Amino acid sequence: MAIATKKGPRTEETPPPIPDVVGHEQPRTRHFPCGGCGAGLSYSPGTSSLTCPYCGHSQELPWLKGGDAELDFRAWLDKAGADGLLEERLAVDCSGCGASVEPDPEVTAMNCPFCGTSVDLRGESRRLIKPAALLPFTVDTGKARELFRDWVTSLWFAPDKLKSTARRSPPLNGIYVPYWTFDAQTESTYQGQRGTHYLVTESYSAVENGQSVTKTRTVTKTRWSPVSGRLSLWFDDLPVMACKALPRSLADGLEPWKLGELCAYDPQYVAGFKAQQYDVGLEEGFELAKERMEVVLREHIEQQIGGDEQRIDRLSTVHADVTFKHILLPIWISAYRFGSKSYRFLINGRTGEVQGERPYSWVKIGLLVTITVAVIGAYAWFAQ
């Protein structure tokens, strides 16, 4: 997320065009036949080519520019519903995690790539905004498994048997997860208080050798004074995950994304992977973006208030020049079972950042607590 204290320049006087209308035919899986043997080609992470898993034939892909085109948020809300500028996509909902999954037309059974639950393939057609750009995978399957094993090894207070689970290499799903990105010029006004620390000396009574004595000590206190002000911030490409199936805290931990490397959406980069549909709508996504913006705004306002402590009593923000993109970001997703529970982990398909849920060894934690209490007790005994 890039932020400037001044409003960014606008090079166009009219909103960028909304994508072309897509026909209403049922969606089909795009297949790219191998020129050597006719089998389906798959995108090879970290390269710019499609590769055949059977004969090894490869086919170069063009790097398509144009993934940075912004759409006017207000214009889209005003026009999109009336003009029908959306695409038809078939979707089924997972009963386990609620993910919106698009099945391949030729499959008769499938499991949810997010949680492994068997999915009822009786779905419905939905009208969705087309993705404008994506970041292709650069971390391949082998590297993703290695990153998972390294992550497990680094965990404190993890059960010893967890390492053997990691060696079994749980199945990984490479998924292009939908995101919204938002640009906005924010103008904020605030009222608050600046706290300034000062020291005072006070007297107090204590008992020493069985007798009451008067002693002094220095105490830090805070003097509060009212403040008010204005703040102008420009937010550029603030990402918001548009998928409800993944824990937002884990997905946010995969940041930062290098969105300056986005390329225009091309289905060839998705070959061999899955592309998830969004189930967080545009307006809902912008509300989530405003929550993230407020966190940043409060940090800047506290710096602007200064002093030793800060309080923000009132904050009002206007969002102007709002634009957005619908993009796909690469995430390796899997779940591993340990004991009777299932734990999920995510890997950033570009940087290799790992975020996951993990079990704890309560035996190890209990042993540490016992040792700590024993050490404190021994120190107190010798002190006496």
- Residue 205 β-bridge partners: 214
What pLDDT was estimated at residue 270?
Answer: 83
Q: Which domain holds residue 230?
A: 2-30+62-383
- Where residue 9 falls among pLDDT bands split at 50, 70, 90? very low
Domain membership of residue 102 (yes or no) is yes
What per-residue confidence (pLDDT) applies to 300?
A: 97
- The tens digit of pLDDT for each residue in 161-219 reads 656 665 666 678 889 999 999 999 999 999 999 999 999 999 888 888 888 888 899 99
Residue 35 lies in a domain: no
Bigger pLDDT: 237 vs 362: 237
Q: Which residue has the higher pLDDT, 97 or 8?
A: 97
| 362 in any annotated domain | yes
How high is the pLDDT of residue 228? 96
Pairwise CA distance, residues 263 & 130, whole Å: 14
d(CA 76, CA 85): 9
Handedness of CA 256, 259, 260, 266 (dihedral sign): positive
Torsions phi, psi for 162 (to 5 deg): -65, -30
The verdict on residue 47 lying in a domain is no
What 8-state DSSP symbol labels residue 376?
H
- 197-212 pLDDT tens trace: 999 999 888 888 888 8
Q: Show the DSSP H helices in 127-209 as ranges.
A: 141-153, 161-167
| Confidence grade of residue 13 (pLDDT, cut at 50, 70, 90) | very low
| Residue 82 placed within a domain | yes
Buried b (16+ CB within 10 A) or exposed e, 38-51: eebbbbbbeeeebb
What is the per-residue pLDDT across 62-78, written as a single tens digit (0 to 9) for each? 655 556 678 889 888 87
In whole angstroms, how large is the CA radius of gyration of the chain?
A: 27
With pLDDT > 90 as the criterion, what percentage of the chain qualifies?
31
- Total number of domains constituting the chain: 1
pLDDT one-digit tens code per residue, 282-326:
999 999 999 999 999 999 999 999 999 999 999 999 999 999 999
Domain presence at residue 356:
yes
pLDDT band at residue 28 using 50, 70 and 90 as cut-offs: very low
Put simply, whether the predicted model's pTM sits higher than 0.85 gets the answer no
Report if residue 52 sits inside a domain. Answer: no
Helices (H), ranges, the chain: 73-83, 141-153, 161-167, 248-252, 282-305, 362-383
| Range 130-169 burial, b when 16+ CB lie within 10 A, else e | ebbbbbbbbbbeebbbebbeebbeebeebbeebeebbeeb
- Long-range pairs of 77-82 with CB within 8 A, sequence gap ≥ 24: 77/282, 77/283, 79/18, 80/18, 80/129
In a domain, 145, yes or no: yes
